[in-house]
Copies of this chain bind each other. A is one copy, B any other.
Amino acid sequence: MPVFPVRHAPDAEGRFEIAPEDLRHLSRVLRLKPGDRFEVCLPDGSRAEARLEGEGRRRVGRVLQRLSAQAETRLPLWIGLGLIRFSRLEWLVEKATELGVERLSPLLLSRGRFGKIEEISENKINRLEKIAQETLKQCERITSPRIDPPMDLRSFLKLSGEDAARRKLLLEERSRAAPLREVLGNARAWAVLVGPEGGLSPEEKSQAREAGFTPVSLGATVLRSETAALYAAAALDFFRQAREEGS
């Protein structure tokens, strides 16, 4: 059964508002009735058992008992990705949410699928947010990746450059660049820049290198853009876990 996020702290009696889409899920999909119990994630990250109370539009949740105070594990990874077909971007948002990725910036690059910023409308960004929210419930998380409106490369390089401790990686296809493993070092946070289909232009690559992005190869394999981003996320998570065990 999914864990439902509670967005605002419950009142003194433990009551909290249930988002309309969660209410629909609880009543129509899970067929909960007033008095039935379900699990929630409170805004502080702890899990709790809650009860459905009231009728119709006045239905609310009420916290019965806290189950754990375990904070979620997030992956301190910022993905900058050239615009790809929207259905592939939707998919990446879902998977990035499952993996706890921190931030996802769709980028307007010269070879991207969309030349104009207008072509990813606010509606489409809202759609991505909604996918992330749905995924949170499935994977028992409370925080979804921050999803930026499409930005140009210069903005992404500038913003990601503000955090000097973040290791910045430029994923390259079939290149002679160093393999991922060799450039990870001791960083605790990463940014990866992934080209659209067709890759970054030579000029964009040199801009990225000047901004501190290290070219890195994922091996001989040619991956689609969204697969490369997810591969990097899984490999970084695996690497981070291995390091934590070792330390």
| Contact, CB under 8 Å: B234 / A230 | yes
**Is A124 an interface residue when CB atoms closer than 8 A count as contact?**
no
| Contact, CB under 8 Å: A181 / B245 | yes
Partner of A100, one of B73, B221, B237: B221
Q: Which stretch from A16-24, A58-66, A91-99, A147-155 is at the chain B interface?
A: A91-99
A residues contacting the other copy or chain, number (CB 8 A): 33
| Contact, CB under 8 Å: A181 / B91 | no
| Contact, CB under 8 Å: A73 / B220 | yes
Also in contact, A182 and B222, with CB within 8 A (given A99-B227, A238-B235, A238-B239): no
**Is A201 an interface residue when CB atoms closer than 8 A count as contact?**
no
The A contact surface, by secondary structure, is helix
A187-229, CB under 8 A of B: which get 1 and which 0? Answer: 0000000000000000000000000000000011111100100
For A100, the chain B residues whose CB sits under 8 A away are 221
> In this complex, what residue of B is CB-closest to A226?
B95
For A245, the chain B residues whose CB sits under 8 A away are 179, 181-182
**Is A242 an interface residue when CB atoms closer than 8 A count as contact?**
yes
| Contact, CB under 8 Å: A181 / B95 | no
Closest beta carbon of chain B to A19's beta carbon, Å: 20
> In this complex, what residue of B is CB-closest to A70?
B220
For A219, the chain B residues whose CB sits under 8 A away are 73, 237, 241
| Contact, CB under 8 Å: A98 / B139 | no
Bound-state Cα–Cα, A224 to B140, Å: 11
**Is A86 an interface residue when CB atoms closer than 8 A count as contact?**
no
Partner of A223, one of B73, B139, B181, B221: B139
Query: What 8 A-B pairs are tightest by C-beta distance, nearest first?
Result: A234-B234, A235-B238, A181-B242, A231-B234, A139-B222, A73-B220, A140-B222, A98-B227
